[in-house]
Amino acid sequence: MAAFRALGLAPWLVAQAEQMGLTRPTPVQEACIPPTLRGHDCMGCAKTGSGKTAAFVLPILQKLSEDPYGIFCLVLTPTRELAYQIAEQFRVLGKPLGLKDCIIVGGMDMVAQALELSRKPHVVVATPGRLADHLRSSGTFSLQKIKFLVLDEADRLLEQGCTDFTQDLEVILAAVPGARQTLLFSATLTDTLNELKQIAMNKPFFWESPSEVRTVEELDQRYLLVPEKVKDAYLVHLVQTFQDEHEDWSVIIFTNTCKNCQVLNMMLRKFNFPSVALHSMMKQKQRFAALAKFKSSVYKILIATDVAARGLDIPTVQVVINHNTPGLPKIYIHRVGRTARAGRHGIAITLVTQYDIHLVHAIEEQIKMKLQEFSVEDRSERSVLNILTQVNVVRRECEIRLEATDFDEKKEINKRKQMILEGKDPDLEEQRKAELAKIRKKNGEFRSRVQQTLREKKQQQLRRKLNKKMRRRQKRQPVAAE
């Protein structure tokens, strides 16, 4: 208790933190809370599960208690589920203040959100897309008086991944005052540092976890080399083994696409495993329901895309399985960080096919340690081979069932919706794409024609040279014969 007090936090807040089980500050909290209280901007780069959320929630609550008004603080985060989780921490720690928070994320009723915003909550936790929509469309609230802007998973918010937040961020940054404190946190900040420095310009304080290895010590990291066709059978076998050997277990399986996520969930259900799926093509209500079922351990397996890779704090997760090897080391760090949190132990197993070995090397280089091979006994290999045909047949059945629904169609509709939200005309975009493809095709054809001509010319030259040589030799031969 004294340690949190020593950081400059008020007794009521320290008591509240203690009630939540936060008795001693973690290193990132110890490093970042005092400069934040002193008014500096702060960038905190600390490992997954190391308490970065409380590192910004606690000092903000303290400042809010000194001068409570709304809207005092804006927190941005890349996913909807994470927004709810952060708001929950504000609510619990800020209970003695009677804290009013408001969550602004996509997939939820916009009118209700606008109403909540107009009631001036103390803290707004938002995903950039929806908040920018509110800013573009309504004048019923203002962010002009905020004291704190927080970017949790800041590097993700700045990078141009499959969901590009940069345009929405521009709208939001134009709506917040220049005189504010900016707090940026992530387990992987360093490669976006220059961009981050442009957002946090008020005497920024940068803190990075001193350890060279970028994943937590308590995490046992393994890889399992499997041929592509046997991957699902190994997955079923691994899950079965965890179920048989552990009473209290819970697993997150990460996969690369929404469709794969859906198929794997259907497949595991067919084998009577208690699994739920979480991906961005599900309705928001279904997403929340799936996560709630998993968090309460009603369902022991969560199959997710990278929408669940960052920030989610579910202490019961002991195992993370990467059904595909992540293409980016950063994504690997966040995925495996869903287990072994806050000093607990956990294991991460990455299924690696013959095509992914270079990805594993890139991961090892980034995290500064080698993954160990997950040893499979002969007995286990035999049982994998025994279920191989059955698993592949079930998977194919699930794929056919999914194709019979309008899953792909929905994907297309979602794409079009997203374009409309971005102010683009989907038909025009389609035309542009088709034209671009035509131009690429023409260019390709032209290039191959040029290459063909060059090849022919070269051959002609070669032939000419050869003929010359032959003629010269023939001329010399009669001389030699004489």
Ligand X SMILES: Nc1ncnc2c1ncn2[C@@H]1O[C@H](COP(=O)(O)OP(=O)(O)OP(=O)(O)O)[C@@H](O)[C@H]1O
Nearer to ligand X (CB atom), residue 45 or residue 135:
45
- The per-residue DSSP string of 172-200 comes to HHHHS-SSSEEEEEESS-GGGHHHHHHH-
Q: Which of 363, 162, 359, 189 is nearest to 279 (CA)?
A: 162
Least spacing, CB of residue 279 vs ligand X, in Å = 19
What SS3 class is residue 209? coil
Q: Does 129 bind Mg ion (CB under 5 A)?
A: no
Least spacing, CB of residue 315 vs Mg ion, in Å = 14
Residues 6+ apart with CB under 8 A from 400: none
Which structure tokens are listed for 419?
């374009």
Q: Does 326 bind Mg ion (CB under 5 A)?
A: no
- d(CA 181, CA 202) in angstroms, rounded, equals 7
- Which region holds residue 370: left if phi is over 0, alpha if psi is between -120 and 50, else beta? beta
Least spacing, CB of residue 142 vs ligand X, in Å = 29
- d(CA 195, CA 311) in angstroms, rounded, equals 21
Least spacing, CB of residue 44 vs ligand X, in Å = 9
- Which one of residues 25, 311, 337, 346 is an interface residue with Mg ion (CB under 5 A)? 311
The item of ligand X, Mg ion, none sharing an interface with residue 26, based on CB under 5 to 8 Å by kind, is ligand X
The item of Mg ion, ligand X, none sharing an interface with residue 116, based on CB under 5 to 8 Å by kind, is none
Residues 6+ apart with CB under 8 A from 429: 419
The item of ligand X, Mg ion, none sharing an interface with residue 346, based on CB under 5 to 8 Å by kind, is none
Nearer to ligand X (CB atom), residue 323 or residue 341:
341
Least spacing, CB of residue 84 vs ligand X, in Å = 13
The item of ligand X, Mg ion, none sharing an interface with residue 51, based on CB under 5 to 8 Å by kind, is ligand X
Least spacing, CB of residue 185 vs Mg ion, in Å = 7
Handedness of CA 47, 51, 53, 55 (dihedral sign): negative
Residue nearest to ligand X (CB): 51
Nearer to Mg ion (CB atom), residue 51 or residue 70:
51
Mode of pairing for the β-strands spanning 205-208 and 251-254 = unpaired
Stretch that binds Mg ion, among 35-43, 50-58, 219-227, 344-352 (CB under 5 A): 50-58
Beta strand ranges found along 81-158 (DSSP E): 101-104, 123-126, 148-152
Nearer to Mg ion (CB atom), residue 89 or residue 280:
89
Which structure tokens are listed for 18?
């203690």
Interface residues toward ligand X, by CB under 6 A: 21-22, 24-26, 29, 46, 48-54, 187, 311, 313, 315, 337, 341-342
Nearer to ligand X (CB atom), residue 18 or residue 435:
18
Least spacing, CB of residue 407 vs Mg ion, in Å = 31
Which structure tokens are listed for 41?
């901007």
Q: Does 44 bind Mg ion (CB under 5 A)?
A: no
Q: Go through the chain and tell me how many residues it has.
A: 482
